[in-house]
Amino acid sequence: MRCFWICSILLILAASYAVAKSDDFVISDRDVNEIYPDIEKVYIDLHSHPELSAHEVRTAAQLAEHLRPLGFEITEHVGGTGVVGMMKNGPGPVVLLRTELDALPVLEKTGLPYASHVVVHDDHNIEVPVMHACGHDVHMSSWLGTATLLAANKNHWSGTLLMIAQPAEETISGAAGMLKDGLYSRFPKPTYALAIHDHADLPAGEVGYNLGYTTSNADSIAITVYGAGGHGSAPQTTIDPILIASRIVLTLQTLVSRETTPGDFAVVTVGTFHAGTKNNIIPDEAKLQLTVRSYKAEVRRKLLAGIERIAKAEAEAAGAKKMPLVERYEGADAVYDDPDLGKRVMAAVGARLGDSNVKQTPPITASEDFSDFGQRGVPTFMMWVGATEPQMLKAAIASGERVPSLHSSVFAPDRERTLKTAILAETTMVLSVLGTGK
């Protein structure tokens, strides 16, 4: 059945543009409207059946099933559940277009008729609810819409298209997994790597972009502080790891306030502090977990070195016999939107959507492993797609309120407007860097 509707759409769209010229070809609103009902069905299904990071078995299979009848050569299980759809269409650039597969352990509270009711056991065997609270269902659906339109109009572009469905973005491990599994050796190395991401602070119907740093470096750090425990009534007989860890927490903030050049972005947040079992026992250990954010590589290096230096210095000051263990257990590089590529892409998108619907946005402090696709000198660019109903956003700004953000249990994109804009903008973006048609 899916093959029937996809093939029918391909025939309709190909016939519609049989006489169009390559140099003035654009995807029309009519093109998007024709495929929208089927894309919306995919979106609702994906939203209702979310899967956690690295467990996106059903989701990956569904995307592969939709790409096959379009003429893509499909490779599954790349870097785990990753999917690569390749379409070679003559000489020209190799363009990678990324979407993410995974959802979050969030209990959905949107009240939508297609809301997720999925509950699973996570990797720690803890029962958790699952929700597409970050818009990856929007990304996947518009990605399929873009693939459908590009496949229908092969006579208007030339090059190789790599449709990448990446697992485990939320754990910032999926892109690295696909690359480790030979993404840039088993398949053609991209000339450009592109992606979109929805944005709750932009109205649906608009898109945003940045040139240069767009998301931050992210580093997760664990610090184990070693002391010598004993009775809480006799602290003089102990080396108190809680006191040492508390001093570390306070001193770490000087990395931002006294060691980072004003104007450079840096954040050091201690998110967890675990120690002790009883009020009158001084424990042997205390554990801290940090998130560290930055844009510039030199700022990142200074922050990470400073964390280790401060942890050891505070332990020495307290007379600890064993120095703290400082471990970086996960991280992601900043997404850097190549300025030349960004200007080229957004000129085309602005011409298609109207310049009033294109906004230059500031960089954000969240992180994204799309940055990994910039390895080996591949220019990358990520475009933001507005997701909030325009009047709701306008009212929220006027009142000083905030609309539900990504990762919120009540985040619900303005479905039709968001998806149609995403498909139109994403397809235009890809066409702007592919070779001209035959």
Concatenating the DSSP letter of every residue in 68-132 gives GGGTPEEEEEETTTEEEEEEEESSS-EEEEEEE---BS----S--TT----EEE-TTS-EEE-B-
Encoding tokens for residue 417?
Answer: 């407007």
List the domains of the chain with CATH numbers. Answer: 2-13+25-215+334-436 (3.40.630.10), 217-332 (3.30.70.360)
Please state, in angstroms and rounded to a whole number, the distance separating the CA atoms of residues 307 and 382.
Answer: 31
Residue 366 has pLDDT above 70, yes or no: yes
Please state, in angstroms and rounded to a whole number, the distance separating the CA atoms of residues 275 and 245.
Answer: 9
Angle (CA) 241 242 243, round 5°: 90
Which amino acid is present at 56?
A: E
36 CB contacts (<8 Å, ≥6 apart)? Answer: 145, 416, 419, 420, 423
- Give me the mean pLDDT over the 341-356 stretch: 97
How much is the pLDDT for 361? Answer: 95
- Give me the mean pLDDT over the 65-91 stretch: 98
Please state, in angstroms and rounded to a whole number, the distance separating the CA atoms of residues 82 and 60.
Answer: 7
292 three-class SS: strand
How much is the pLDDT for 22? Answer: 39
- The whole-model pTM stands at 0.90
Q: Convert the pLDDT of each residue in 386-432 to its tens digit.
A: 999 999 999 999 999 999 999 999 999 999 999 999 999 999 999 99
Q: Which helix (H) or strand (E) holds 161?
A: strand 157-166
Phi, psi angle pair for 92, to nearest 5°: 140, -175
Encoding tokens for residue 206?
Answer: 């608009």
Residue 7 has pLDDT above 70, yes or no: no
Strands (E), 369-422: 380-388
For residue 15, what pLDDT band results from cuts at 50, 70 and 90?
A: very low
Which position has the higher pLDDT, 15 or 296?
296
For residue 375, what pLDDT band results from cuts at 50, 70 and 90?
A: confident
Q: Convert the pLDDT of each residue in 99-111 to its tens digit.
A: 999 999 999 999 9
List the one residue out of 406, 365, 369 whose CA is nearest residue 388: 406
Residues in the chain: 438
How much is the pLDDT for 395? Answer: 96
- Give me the mean pLDDT over the 64-82 stretch: 98
187 CB contacts (<8 Å, ≥6 apart)? Answer: 75, 84, 86, 162
- Give me the mean pLDDT over the 307-313 stretch: 98
Please state, in angstroms and rounded to a whole number, the distance separating the CA atoms of residues 411 and 345.
Answer: 28
State the greatest distance between any 2 C-alpha atoms of the chain, in Å, as a whole number. Answer: 89
Residue 295 has pLDDT above 90, yes or no: yes
Please state, in angstroms and rounded to a whole number, the distance separating the CA atoms of residues 62 and 85.
Answer: 13
How remote is the C-alpha of 110 from its chain's centroid? 22
Please state, in angstroms and rounded to a whole number, the distance separating the CA atoms of residues 203 and 410.
Answer: 17
Alpha helix segments (H runs only) across 318-389: 339-353
Question: Cβ atoms within 10 A of the Cβ of 364, count?
Answer: 18
Encoding tokens for residue 72?
Answer: 């893509």
Residue 123 has pLDDT above 50, yes or no: yes
* Mean pLDDT for the chain overall: 94
For residue 20, what pLDDT band results from cuts at 50, 70 and 90?
A: very low
Encoding tokens for residue 327?
Answer: 């471990």
Please state, in angstroms and rounded to a whole number, the distance separating the CA atoms of residues 20 and 127.
Answer: 54
Strands 119-121 and 358-360: unpaired
